[in-house]
Amino acid sequence: MKNENADYFVHPKGLCETSRVGKNTRIWAFAHVLPNAQLGADCNICDNVFIENDVVIGDRVTIKCGVQVWDGIQIMDDVFIGPNATFTNDRFPRSKQYPEEFLRTVVKSKATIGANATILPGLTIGESAMVGAGAVVTRSVPPFAIVVGNPAKIIGYTEGATGAANESTLAPISDTPAVISTSVSGVTLHTFKAVPDLRGSLSVGEFEREIPFSPKRYFLVYDVPTANTRGEHAHHECHQFLIAVRGSIRVAVDDGKTREEITLDRPNMGLYLPPLTWGVQYKYSSDAMLLVFASDYYDSADYIRDYGDFIKLVQSGKQV
């Protein structure tokens, strides 16, 4: 039935103590929503869901049966939460002992959390990320990442805004110098001359000729556990050029409209990332070493570390 003078539905055997419920939201049998919770429009709150007070839920959210949403949890628009998924808000719970403030957990827009997954407190599940069934999430999940297992590890990335984040379909890379455009705006994959020799092989590239800028900084990334990711940011002004000098690395690049994944696995291959390109490196092989050239000295203000901020900036067409 519909609540009297309300434009949302509560099942006769459901209990909704808050009036802050959006239009056309449906709350089913044996669900219990506490007085200070806030629910958006067009949500579907299934049987046996419990929603505590300090909870904000966006629009078009689906929460399947048997889920408890505790104080300190925010769920943004278009999120799907599978049956019996478990949220937590206290790392060291004791009976009758309460922290001064519960850790904040945020599930960002269009994310999916599979059945029976467990989300530890204080984490962020990024935009359009997918948490596999039964996963135990102990670290924040980057936007679009697919994580599975205990502890949860990244195994891939979901499709992006207008392009699938599959392995790049670029032409096979040879030893002949070449530059190949990707589907992501301004991102190019470079092949440098390789000279094999009995004494050892050599590969060479020239700045401002083959690499489209002159660097002011370099850094090396190595000894990265395969479960971890690097990058997860964009730059306002800085250009970057990535070379896997040893081993293999998967790179996801994103211009806010299209995403693509590319594997760097040869020392005569390089990937150019212009400003306002979101980049993530993951699936480092155990021996991987990544060399990155940067066009500018380190400046923390040049980093865009939140994917939502990156999207807003791209859509505005401005650099700040």
The residues annotated with a catalytic role in the active site are: 233
- Beta-bridge partner residues of 16: 33
Question: From the CB of residue 237, how many other CB atoms can be counted at a distance below 10 Å?
Answer: 12
CA-based nearest residue to 72, from 40, 104, 97, 45: 104
Give the pairing type, strands 136-137 and 26-27: unpaired
Please state whether the peptide bond connecting residue 212 to the residue before it is cis, i.e. omega within 30 degrees of 0.
no
Both tokens assigned to 128: 């359009």
The phi and psi torsions of 300 (rounded to 5 degrees) equal: -60, -30
CA 159 – CA 166 distance, rounded (Å): 8
| 52 alpha carbon, distance to own chain's centre | 26
User: Pairing mode, if any, of strands 73-75 and 105-107?
Assistant: parallel
Q: How many CA atoms lie within 13 A of 45 on its CB side?
A: 35
Q: Are 224 and 242 in contact (CB under 8 A)?
A: no
What is the amino acid identity at position 147?
A: V
Residue 43 CA to residue 80 CA, distance in Å, equals 10
- Spatial distance between the Cα atoms of 164 and 54, rounded to a whole number of angstroms: 36
Report which of 21, 30, 33, 26 is spatially closest to residue 10, judged by C-alpha positions. 26
Q: How many CA atoms lie within 13 A of 87 on its CB side?
A: 30
